[in-house]
Amino acid sequence: MAATLSNEVKQALQDIYYNERTGRGKEAFALLERASAAGDGDATCVLARCYCGRQYVWAGHGFLEDDDKAIELLHKSVEQGSALGVLVALRTGELTPSVQRKMPFANLQEALDVATELAEGGDAFSQYVVANSYFWWDFLRIQDKGENSFPNHAAFKAYLKENISRCEDWFWKAFRGGMYFAANNLNKYYREGDEDIIAPQPEKARDLYKIGAEAGHPIMQAIYADDLTEEGRKEEALDWYKRAAEGGHPGAWYDVGRCYFDGEGVEPDDAYAVECFKKELEKNPIHQGACNLLGKAYFFGRGVSLDYDKAYRYLFTAYEKHDSTWGVFYLAKLSFNGWGTPQDYGKAMEFMNKMSFQNPEADYMRGFIYARGLGGVPEDIKKGVEYLKKAGNFDKAKEELQNYKKTLFGKWVRRKN
């Protein structure tokens, strides 16, 4: 229980958090597994976080998310005597009374004292864990105090403010030391404050993600690029998307491709956009945005040879895997015409029913299907004609309308040849 981290944990923290763009995440994970098996509780604690998903570890590492495994490891880290494990288990609601009894600390304050010693020694992960103990009010349980511990409410609020505010300095130390996740809670602390105890200071949050981006963290670069895009600074945003992509951040190659495809902050370059979409799909074959835009590229032959088979495949992947309705018009048109997929009027209607916008060609296709009773849709000439008229000057709709007429009794019927 010495207040120092093993060399294995120090190296793993470097590769997983502080310098994550090196791409050594999987090696660090294996290092933690070996150290954990040898009894290193801090290694077990960090390993547990690796199983907790993108809320706790960068998605670019590609670690498997497994809540049950994470809980098992957290409990193990407590038993192995990791002060960090105790505080993380407390923070995540996993420090049950039975688990707490297994820790080799006299009480929770002793665990916090050990973690604080690690933090004072300069370790950013430990600084982040200690900061969270104050930010999320875990100090109340650690110190076994509540409002009844104070003579009045004002004294209790003063105690809360004194402790909560300690998180700020610890978060900054962690952030500057490479623990980029600290920026998220700092951002919340500054923008929202804390009830009526800590006043918001939104001006202090303004450059947090820029600082993280300039420090080289891919996720911060992507977030900063999003912020720049919202501000209309699209050329600068593209530069940061590229840095995030080169650092391995999931989704960033899609963002770069999108910028070149749509000409955001750069002259359009469809061929390069397609390259970027394919790079994204090499890492994640079902990335929603990349599938949609690559499908559109093949549909129109933008940057690639026109290929309806591939257009349908990519667009349908986004539709099927993510319930994405972005490309349903294209899917409807492909199904209606039998391009890249067997002609299927019923599927075409299914796709069009998912559309959230009006389109003259879609109105034509609906009108054609209703008026002729195709694809399992009951014939309804009146409804079909209404859609064909709604299509306005769309040539095929005007041509199809010539096949129908209104009787003297006001009923729409098919013209006889």
Averaged pLDDT score across all residues of the chain? 97
**pLDDT value, residue 158:** 97
Please report whether residue 120 resides in a domain: yes
Q: Is residue 219 part of a domain?
A: no
Say if residues 4 and 118 touch (Cβ distance below 8 Å).
Answer: yes
Q: Tell me if 46 sits within 8 A of 12, measured CB to CB.
A: yes
Whether 10 has a pLDDT exceeding 50, the answer reads: yes
As a whole number, mean pLDDT of residues 325-350 equals 98
In this structure, are residues 324 and 353 in contact, taking their beta carbons and an 8 Å threshold?
no
Would residue 44 count as lying in a domain? yes
Cβ atoms of residues 127 and 112 within 8 Å: no
Write the pLDDT tens digit of every residue in 240-273: 999 999 999 999 999 999 999 999 999 999 999 9
Determine which helix (DSSP H) or strand (DSSP E) holds 317, and give its type and residue range.
helix 308-322
* Cα Rg of the chain (Å, integer): 29
User: In terms of pLDDT, which residue wins out, 140 or 408?
Assistant: 140
Q: Please choose, from the candidates 243, 254, 182, 191, the residue with its C-alpha nearest in 3D space to the C-alpha of residue 213.
A: 243
pLDDT, tens digit, 9 for 90 and up, residues 76-108: 999 999 999 999 999 999 999 999 999 999 999
This prediction has a pTM of 0.91
pLDDT band for position 112 (cuts 50, 70, 90):
very high
In this prediction, residue 122 carries a pLDDT of 96
Give residue 138's pLDDT: 98
Q: Does a structural domain hold residue 195?
A: yes
When divided into structural domains, the chain yields a total of 1
- CB atoms closer than 10 angstroms to residue 148: 6
Give the mean model confidence (pLDDT) for residues 12-23: 95
Within a domain: 163: yes
Is residue 43 in a domain?
Answer: yes
Binning pLDDT at 50, 70 and 90, where does residue 1 land?
A: very low
d(CA 352, CA 182): 45
Boundaries of domain holding 31:
7-199
pLDDT of residue 190: 98
Q: Is residue 311 situated within a structural domain?
A: no
- Give a yes or no: residue 13 inside a domain: yes
pLDDT in tens, 396-415: 999 999 999 999 888 999 99
| pLDDT value, residue 177 | 97
Alpha carbon distances (Å) from 287 to 75, 208, 375 = 35, 28, 31
pLDDT at 265: 95
